[in-house]
Chain A
Amino acid sequence: MVRNRTALLLFRLVLGGLFVYAGAIKALEPLDFAQSIRNYDIVGQALSFFAALVLPWLEILAGVFLIAGVWTRGAALVISGLLVFFIALTVVTMVRGLDIDCGCFGAVDRKAGVSVILEDLAMLYLGLCVLCQKGAPAQKGTGALEALE
């Protein structure tokens, strides 16, 4: 795992930024995202609806906290957990032979497939590096701005 502070800061900014972006797109169009979740055919209509309302905000909040350097490891745990879930979901979807949009970045037409898994694995690596760092930056007073100094 990477331990270099500058690299970890970069990881936080990239990963946090991606999650804020992905969350914001989905938060703007909750019904489109609900349909994307429903298409996976794993949960019903009601759960798809409520997941579509909550998941984008979880992504946004975790991303913002990661960028800000507040509760960094907690945010990294949320993001890593989500990524593990997304990867498992995509694998199951491929095994079941479903040809559906992944819903990763809103309504962009992109199939749930190998490229999505590789992308999620790369992000998971960044998330785990941040999660496994020794001591949270916030504890040591090394938030994003201070680390840049």
Chain B
Amino acid sequence: MNEADYEQAVATYYEALYAFGYSLAGNADDAGELTQETYCRLLTKGGQLRDPSKVKSWLFTTLYRVFLGWKKRQTRLPHFEISSVEAELPVIKPEHVDVLEIDAVREALLGLEEHYRVPVTLFYLNDQSYEEIAALLEVPVGTVMSRLSRAKGMLREQWVMRAIRGERENKILPLERKSKS
């Protein structure tokens, strides 16, 4: 990989990669290290990349593999079908998100188990197609979407709890209760 290509790859993807690394590792130091190691591998092994359009996928996949390599153990998490979780989603409006501190958004994300955190992070980073996310995780697209659905539900539960606490303290907007119909 020549200098210009490398610099282009850094300029274009390092922020999203860092964010992805942060969501995996849960702290800034490890996020930086994961990002650095990923680009280090791009420098040493990027010559094998024949198709420049694959750089993005290659970087995200490599970072994820590096992270998995760091982990001592892997846990298997239960698989949820979309239909089983939708009803759990509480009603939450954009205004409720507006009053959340950005740290609260991140903390809620980091509170999710990795199985859910990875697809929902990639969903909100807006950088990859579902096919790319599925390829990265080595699961079918349907599984990505079911995990995403579950993850969004869990995030909202946390924000609702936070909103209820804030509501009691008259800090933020009242929640709309979900109708039973």
Bound pair (A, B):
no
**A contacts, CB < 8 Å to B:** none
